[in-house]
Amino acid sequence: MHAHRLASPRIGEMELEEFELPDRPPADGILVSTGVTIISAGTEIANYLGRTTERPPERTTPYYPGYSFAGTVLAVGEDIHDFAPGDRVSGPIQHASAAVENRPERLARFARIPDGVTDREAALSQLSCIALNGVRKARIQLGETVAVVGAGLVGLLASRLAQLDGAHPLISLDLIEERRAAAIDFGIAHVLDPGAENTEDVISALAPAGVDVVIEATGSPHAFVPALKMARRGGRVVLLGSTRGTVQDFSPYAEAHLKGLTIVGAHVSTAPVIATPADVWTEAANRRVVLSLMEEGSFDVNPLIRHTVSPAEAPDAFAGLASRPEEYLGVAIDWSAI
């Protein structure tokens, strides 16, 4: 069958290309039709610009972005028993009008979409799983002060999930004015500019002894040391953003050791692949939780999707996210008409 996908043949370039898929999946796979995918402004844009080990500048093979998918199962292989044709599912699939997935480690991360959740919402379940993994590792207790540094998509998703987990008060910080406005629109009461003169005073009033939990969601090495300084003695700092680059002027003794901080790496790959009695929260389990919260209305992600583009418009969206990130938040690609 004919299908279309996004491909980056060279650093800083993106195009929509046609490719071929089998009409039937292999025995251990599924064939899906895409409804909506979401662009990751962190990982995908970093790869698009050649700033990661996955896609370094010297790489000459194309990069195929995307891992936030919602769509419908068209066919399943004879060995697949968890899904059936007609099921609406979400999981990690690239930006394409259709795809075949038969990698067991990927299929294990999929979940069915409840009837009350749209593809547009369900496509955000992947970034929500990333955010929820960080919130779980923070081990927030009701009434603890939580500061989320970064009000991009992952930061705002983590903020709402932290609220649901008991964060009180919750503080959102971002240098970009448009993102602070988005945080206010998303219902966060305490939204601050880290560069403002009175920010430290406001945080001190909300958390006199320091913040219990700081979730760093920018991925910028420049945010690491300020996050440590914000935390109280014995507090926790969760590294949720994928920090790229070297942290400057970091003193482990002064900033972490002396304060007794717990610093937690929370990359989504740290979620267990298989549930155990010690940790049942696999990515699929987290996905079912966020989809259920979406269905009941306590986790409304619609305000975060500010742009919806066609596949043909997606290359321009990548260019815009790379050069003018303040103009964008959630960008959905609607594949239904292709």
The pLDDT assigned to 57 comes to: 84
pLDDT at 170: 98
Report the alpha-carbon distance of residue 203 to residue 52 in Å, rounded.
34
Neighbours of 12 (CB within 10 A): 12
Q: Which residue in 36, 35, 38, 59 sits closest to 47, CA to CA?
A: 59
* Cα–Cα distance, 6 to 315 (Å, whole number): 8
Task: State the Cα–Cα distance between residues 15 and 18, nearest whole angstrom.
Answer: 10
Per 3-state DSSP, the chain is made up of helix, strand and coil in percentages (nearest 5) of 30, 25, 45
pTM score, two decimals? 0.95
Residue 227, pLDDT score: 95
264, 216 contact by CB (below 8 A)? no
Indicate the residue type of 64. Y
Q: Chain-centre distance of CA 93, in angstroms?
A: 14
In 3D space, the residue among 136, 147, 184 whose CA is nearest the CA of residue 169 turns out to be 147
Instruction: Out of 1.10.3430.10, 3.60.110.10, 3.30.2270.10, 3.90.180.10, select the CATH number for domain 2-124+301-334.
Output: 3.90.180.10
Weakly modelled stretches of the chain, pLDDT under 50? none
The residues with which 213 forms a beta bridge, in sequence order, are 146, 236
Give domain 127-270's CATH architecture: 3-Layer(aba) Sandwich (3.40)
What are the backbone dihedrals phi and psi of residue 112, each rounded to the nearest 5 degrees, phi first?
-75, 145
* Residue 302: per-residue pLDDT: 96
Can you tell me the distance from the alpha carbon of 174 to that of 181, in angstroms, rounded to the nearest whole number?
10
Give the residue among 108, 31, 101 at the shortest CA–CA distance from 66: 101
Residues 6+ apart with CB under 8 A from 222: 248
Distances (CA, A) of 156 to 110, 181, 331: 23, 11, 14
The pLDDT of residue 249 is: 85
Distances in whole angstroms, Cα of residue 148 to Cα of each of 74, 144, 176, 197:
40, 13, 14, 19
Residue 244 is predicted with a pLDDT of 78
Domain boundary assignment for the chain: 2-124+301-334, 127-270
The answer to whether the beta carbons of residues 206 and 143 sit under 8 Å apart is no
Q: From the CB of residue 7, how many other CB atoms can be counted at a distance below 10 Å? A: 19
* 152, two tokens: 């991009």
pLDDT, one tens digit per residue, over 285-298 is: 999 999 999 999 99
- Nearest residue to 266 (alpha-carbon basis) of 300, 227, 234, 299: 227
How crowded is residue 293: how many other Cβ atoms within 10 Å of its Cβ? Answer: 20
Q: So what's the pLDDT on residue 19?
A: 97
Identify residue 72 by its one-letter amino acid code: T
pLDDT at 310: 98
> From residue 38, how far is each of 34, 69, 72, 96, 236 by CA, in Å?
11, 7, 16, 11, 30
pLDDT digits (tens, 9 = 90+) for 60-69: 899 999 999 9
Q: Where are the alpha helices (DSSP H) in 168-275?
A: 177-185, 199-206, 224-230, 252
* Predicted pLDDT of residue 27: 97
